[in-house]
Amino acid sequence: MRTIELVLLVYALAFAIGMAVAFLVRWIGKLSAMLDLQFDPMLRHEYYRLKRIKKYHKEQVKRISKLSDNNNDLVSHYYGGNTTADPNDILKWKK
Amino acid sequence: MEKIDLAQLFQGIGTLMHSDITVMVTRIGLILLGIMLVYLGRKGVLEPLVMIPMGLGMVAINSGIMFMPDGSQGNLFVDPMVTDYNKLLDVMQIDFLQPIYTLMFSNGLIACFVFMGIGVLLDISYLLRNPLTSMFLALCAELGTVATIPIAQSLGLNLRESASIAMVGGADGPMVLFTSLSLAKNLFVPITVVAYLYLGLTYGGYPYLIKLMVPERLRAIKMPPPPKQKRKVSAGQKLMLAVVLCAVLCLLFPVAAPLFFSLFIGIAIRESGMKPLIDFISGPLLYGSTFILGLLLGVLCEAHLLLDPKILILLILGIVALILSAVGGILGGYVMYFITKGKFNPVIGIAGVSCVPTTAKVAQKIVSKANPQAIIINDAIGANIMGVITTAILTGLYITLIPLWG
């Protein structure tokens, strides 16, 4: 009985660690692109510019949402849909 | 003229005649097996790099047994059972392979060298393409590594011995060597020999299992090409992956840290582009270590050492572990097939068994026969490399958990 417990524990741990490693591998792809970015002044400037724009847009969406709780049309009219300013595009391009 | 004792003159034959019938038959059987390994290695049925030195080693050790000054039988190759420090120093000056055995084999150094070589040869960009699927398949293909333990215990092995023989299911020679050295030193010679013998047989045996479990219609499924933006993985990304994974896995399993370090230093050297080191590790170091490994495995197949009543059990369990792992991998492939609604070739699952790159090559060979236009090798190599990592994780878990488990 204790052997079965051990086997189940080992397999469960292996699955947990293995999947964590797989997520890490996926995340490292993005992280290394970020690091590459830090050494390219032009790209870095563009990345943070877009990031600021995105943050500004998000804040505007929040602000208008508060002003017009029941008026979703207004929100989507002004700030909904694609802002097109996605800093992650640069990371994707770097990849 | 004094009468000449022929048994003393030709001691190889003399010891054969003076042994009991079991030892004699085993010695002759091992000599014949050695000849067969050389033949099959030369023919390309088994891996020649390991099998030719191993086969010849088996022939030489079982032929070259002599009478020692104390009247017992022995050889001038190696004595793996010597533990006394003073005796070991004496033996190291007499047995010509003893220094290599003591300083390279029994401490796992040779396994680490082979792992460095594997690391230098691995292109982990395949792994970065689809890490979650590759890892899932590799974990499914570890079924034999865990499921063999209760079977081994029911056949009378203790927990440490069971875990060591179950590692054969991981299909990774250096890992089996490392685990058995850490957990079951008394059985590490037969376990390692069984592991390497069976690993040589996977190339011949797995195609039949695939054909049995996967119908031709499914074997012919073409895999979609990887998305364009993800096609190129930079050396920097791969280097970072090696560094981070090495740190994380060493933190989790310090007992298996030498193996993790060896694998990832190989990858790091490859991705750093240090050509002189790449040439050295992938050439002289890897081939030299493989040759010495084969040679030592051969001379360890001495009849007296292998005449353990547990050897038959180990032979059965080794094959059970490898079959269960392959079945697990293919079942994982089927799970992916159903998740992707028929767009995944289930044969890729067998590549999760981490016999790099044999199982990936076997998978591609079988798929090509069913559909010459189906290319699965990239996905198969990804699962294969993840298989090395999952086997290393399981090695770490066993070496850490089993001594605590009691």
Q: ∠ CA(B65), CA(B296), CA(B385), 5° rounding?
A: 155
ipTM of the complex: 0.79
Residue range B129-151: mean pLDDT, rounded:
91
Residue A86 has pLDDT above 70, yes or no: no
* Arithmetic mean of pLDDT over chain A: 71
Model pLDDT, residue B375: 86
Q: How many CB contacts within 8 angstroms connect chain A with chain B?
A: 95
Element (H, E) at B249: helix B235-252
Q: Which one of A27-36, A41-50, B382-391 scores highest in mean pLDDT?
A: B382-391
- Ordered DSSP codes for B347-384: GGGGGGS--TTHHHHHHHHHHHHH-TT---HHHHHHHH
Residue range B163-182: mean pLDDT, rounded:
87
User: Quick one: tokens of B374?
Assistant: 């189906």
For an interface test with B, give the residue of A1, A7, A90, A93 to mutate (most B CBs within 10 A): A7
To the nearest whole angstrom, how far is the Cα of B227 from the nearest Cα of chain A?
12
**Closest to A13 (Cβ–Cβ): which among B127, B162, B397?**
B397
For an interface test with A, give the residue of B146, B160, B253 to mutate (most A CBs within 10 A): B146
Beta bridge partners of B340: none
Contact B388, B395 (CB under 8 A): no
> What type of residue sits at position B372?
P
d(CA B185, CA B180): 6
Beta bridge partners of B73: B67
Model pLDDT, residue A88: 63
Model pLDDT, residue B31: 94
Alpha-carbon B178 to chain mean position? 10
Element (H, E) at B199: helix B188-213
To the nearest whole angstrom, how far is the Cα of B231 from the nearest Cα of chain A?
9
Model pLDDT, residue B1: 55
pLDDT tens digits along B279-322: 999 999 999 998 998 899 899 888 887 777 788 898 889 999 99
Share of chain B above pLDDT 90, in %: 33
More confident residue, B150 or B107: B150
**Contact at CB, B135 and A26, closer than 8 angstroms:** no
More confident residue, A32 or B29: B29
- The residue length of chain B stands at 406
Domain extent at residue A67:
2-94
pLDDT tens digits along B194-237: 887 787 777 778 889 999 999 999 998 888 776 654 446 678 77
DSSP three-state, residue B72: coil
**Contact at CB, A29 and B405, closer than 8 angstroms:** no
The CA–CA distances, whole Å, from B402 to A9, B14, B63, B182, B396 equal 11, 45, 39, 11, 10
Q: Which residues contact A48 (CB under 8 A, 6 or more apart)?
A: A87
Helix (H) and strand (E) counts in chain B: 22, 2
Model pLDDT, residue A95: 46
Q: Which long-range contacts (CB under 8 A, 24 or more apart) does B337-343 make?
A: B337/B218, B337/B221, B342/B221, B343/B221, B343/B223, B343/B224
Residue B105 has pLDDT above 70, yes or no: yes
pLDDT tens digits along B374-401: 888 888 888 988 888 899 889 989 988 8
d(CA B326, CA B349): 8
Model pLDDT, residue A40: 67
User: Quick one: tokens of B105?
Assistant: 């084999």
Model pLDDT, residue B2: 64
Domain extents in chain B:
107-405
Residue B180 has pLDDT above 70, yes or no: yes
Residue B15 has pLDDT above 50, yes or no: yes
- The tally of domains found in chain A comes to 1
Residue range A13-24: mean pLDDT, rounded:
90
Beta bridge partners of B67: B73
Element (H, E) at B34: helix B21-43
- Within 13 Å, how many C-alpha atoms sit on residue B194's CB side? 28
Model pLDDT, residue B166: 93
Residue B132 has pLDDT above 70, yes or no: yes
Q: What is the distance in angstroms between the CA of the first residue and the CA of the last residue of chain B?
A: 65
Helix residue ranges per DSSP H, B47-124: 48-63, 85-94, 98-100, 109-121
pLDDT tens digits along B17-32: 888 888 899 899 999 9
**Contact at CB, B153 and A35, closer than 8 angstroms:** no
To the nearest whole angstrom, how far is the Cα of B397 from the nearest Cα of chain A?
7
User: Quick one: tokens of B358?
Assistant: 């044999």
| Prediction pTM value | 0.77
